[in-house]
Amino acid sequence: MNKETQIKLSEEIIETAFHLLINKLAFGGLTAKNEASFQLEFGHILKTLGQLYEFRLEDKFHLEFETYIDLSDKSVKSKSNKARVDLLLKYKDDETITKTAIELKFFKKGNHREPNNRYDVFKDISNLELYKQNGIDICYFILATDHLHYVNQENYSFDTADFNFRDNHKYKSGTVLQYKTSKPYGEDLKLNQDYEFKWKHINEFYFLKLKV
pLDDT in the model for residue 115 = 87
Provide the domain count of the chain.
1
Question: What pLDDT, on a 0 to 100 scale, did the predictor assign at position 80?
Answer: 62
The DSSP result for 54-98, as a single string, is --STT-EEEEEEEEEEE-SS--TTTSSSEEEEEEEEEEE-SS-EE
Report pLDDT digits (tens) over 87-98. 999 999 999 999
Cα distance between residue 33 and residue 111, in whole Å: 11
Please check whether residue 161 lies inside any domain of the structure: no
- Across residues 124-145, what is the average pLDDT? 95
H-run or E-run covering 3: helix 3-26
**pLDDT 10s digits, 162-198:** 999 999 999 999 999 999 988 888 899 999 999 999 9
How many angstroms separate the CA atoms of 140 and 104, rounded? 9
Domain annotation covers residue 189: no
Q: Cis bond leading into 115, ω under 30°?
A: yes
Average pLDDT over residues 38-57: 96
Q: Are 5 and 137 within 8 A, CB to CB?
A: no
In a domain, 45, yes or no: yes
For residue 78, pLDDT beyond 60: no
- Structural domain that includes position 97: 3-152+198-211
- The pTM assigned to this predicted structure is 0.92
User: Is residue 181 in some structural domain?
Assistant: no
Assigned domain for 203 exists = yes
Assigned domain for 170 exists? no
Please report whether residue 27 resides in a domain. yes
- Give the Å distances, CA to CA, from 123 to 20, 49, 76, 211: 26, 29, 10, 15
Angle, in degrees to the nearest 10, between helices 35-52 and 3-26:
130
Enclosing H/E stretch for 131: helix 116-132
